[in-house]
Amino acid sequence: MKLGTFLPPKVVQNKSWVALKSTFFCPHWVALWATSQTYESSPYPSWNASCCPHPQQPVAPCLRDPHASPPVFGSLAAAAGASPAFTSRLLAEGASAALRRPQPCLSRGSAMAMTGSTPCSSMSNHTKERVTMTKVTLENFYSNLIAQHEEREMRQKKLEKVMEEEGLKDEEKRLRRSAHARKETEFLRLKRTRLGLEDFESLKVIGRGAFGEVRLVQKKDTGHVYAMKILRKADMLEKEQVGHIRAERDILVEADSLWVVKMFYSFQDKLNLYLIMEFLPGGDMMTLLMKKDTLTEEETQFYIAETVLAIDSIHQLGFIHRDIKPDNLLLDSKGHVKLSDFGLCTGLKKAHRTEFYRNLNHSLPSDFTFQNMNSKRKAETWKRNRRQLAFSTVGTPDYIAPEVFMQTGYNKLCDWWSLGVIMYEMLIGYPPFCSETPQETYKKVMNWKETLTFPPEVPISEKAKDLILRFCCEWEHRIGAPGVEEIKSNSFFEGVDWEHIRERPAAISIEIKSIDDTSNFDEFPESDILKPTVATSNHPETDYKNKDWVFINYTYKRFEGLTARGAIPSYMKAAK
């Protein structure tokens, strides 16, 4: 039985957060639950009137029958880290009976601390952390219940709309609804199964960055091939990346667009976080640009047009990508663009802060040698250093808008600046501000009015040059400020069929021999990211258990992923 069983219909229908909280959990129960693991074996006094205004039925606001034993309490207690003994008592004896066992005598202020009603300075840091963890667990649980209900309704409405558009007869509609209902039932059942690393077979490493790596994997029960992004928890905590990986996970859950790489699952274990995403065998735009000196204007028009639509799809969701660059433009099996890597959607990495590059005491002298190179040598030098920059924690500031560096306020227009830099690179062969050091690149970006020039030996049309300059200018005058239609109507995009661009052949065809073809990816040696390091082996409990609650609610399963259970045809199976 699920907690949803106890949901009052009007609470679900009205999606009332306050009603949800007041319906289920008395704050005294929550505070006690949060500290249960700490004090469970200690000889504290029993629960009494001084601890709770409901001494006989401390969880009366939560359940009609306080002596019942709903599995939900056991599930939530386990999720919050309560000991197995306490969880078992909840299941076997019921919440009321379990709470009457010897427990810490909490003052009214302590019990109410998590609600903010009464400050409690006497609670230890460990107890406060347990209370915070519990609060996060409950909030996520309630919000997930509401989200699941909304998503199910949305899928039903989508089905009805499709059937109306297809003009199906009543009997056909009935059969389609029955099939959909079976899928929904299967989805609920499969969501309860735990997904782990053992459910996937690793085939090959296809990407590596500063904070993790990407592997091509095959799901054992279906044979479907995915890209698995692996991030080590210890690195995320140490390098303050928790907010970034949370942002990426959340936007991949929310975004359901042809222009965004689709995430099917996310889960975690003691060591790592895992994102299971669709595998796009075309590689990325960075690899494509490294293979070619330059792109033609026709090819550039196609890729920039698709990227315009991809960026706009993110903006319509209320997000700013902030990290648009060739590395994050992936190509599917037909060569069409999809956006990826949303780790900066809610903030900036340290390497993108102005002070990082303003530290002149540690910056290197200006690279006059690079500035004096001709365009061909610049392109060769850029390609030679580009891959190394992609792997470093510093990265490259070549594509970041100047207002982002200044941190005086910016909006979605910063993504259009980045697109202008990519367009320049496609046509010229290297970005306009490229240098041998990130510090020098930063200086060029901030001084863009003098450094944004076009080499005479690489001719491009006035239409292309004009669009680049309209992308890379002061944000107040930047194209796209009134809306994406201003960009679409630019003369450079003359002849583009915006409505059906994904249906046309890509500007550069992609050759794919099998579903696990990785010929468009670089070769990477195997790593030990899936194995415990020396540090984590020596301090497993200290390093993870105390801070692991920050990764609560990371797990996710997409409806399309769990209901697509049919095994793929034998001729499409990944080569072993």
Numbered residues of the known binding site for ATP: 229
Residues making up the binding site: 229
Give the residue carrying structure tokens 């190179």.
373
For the four alpha carbons of 315, 318, 322 and 327, in that order, the dihedral sign comes to negative
d(CA 342, CA 257): 14
CB 297 within 8 A of CB 466: no
Q: Is 65 a catalytic residue?
A: no
The token duo for 91 is 């299941």
Whole-Å CA distances, 481 to 334, 452, 489, 492, 576: 32, 21, 13, 18, 50
Q: How far apart are CA 419 and CA 464, in angstroms?
A: 13
Q: 263 — phi, psi (to 5°)?
A: -100, 130
Structure tokens at 206: 């296809």
Question: Helix, strand or coil for residue 96?
Answer: helix
Are 28 and 110 in contact, with CB atoms under 8 Å apart? no
CA pair distance 370, 435, nearest whole angstrom:
7
The encoded tokens of residue 193 equal: 């199964």
Sheet containing strand 212-219, edge to edge, reads: 200-208, 212-219, 225-232, 272-278, 263-268, 556-557
Judged by DSSP in three states, 499 sits in: helix
The phi-psi region of residue 67 (left if phi > 0; otherwise alpha if psi is between -120 and 50; otherwise beta) is alpha
Strand 212-219 to 272-278 pairing: unpaired
DSSP H/E element including 404? helix 402-406
Distance CA 441, CA 400 (A): 10
CB of 467 closer than 8 Å to CB of 423: yes
Q: How many residues does the chain have?
A: 576
What residues form DSSP beta bridges with 218? 201, 225
Nearest to 252 by CA among 235, 270, 227, 269: 227
Contact between residue 470 and residue 490 where contact means Cβ atoms under 8 Å apart: yes
Per the DSSP assignment, residues forming a β-bridge with 268 are 273
Strands of 282-365, DSSP E: 329-331, 337-339
Single out the catalytic residue among 312, 323, 516, 543: 323
Q: Give me Rg for the CA atoms of the chain.
A: 27
3-state secondary structure 513-541: CCCCCCCCCCCCCCCCCCCCCHHHHHCHH
Residues annotated as part of the active site = 323
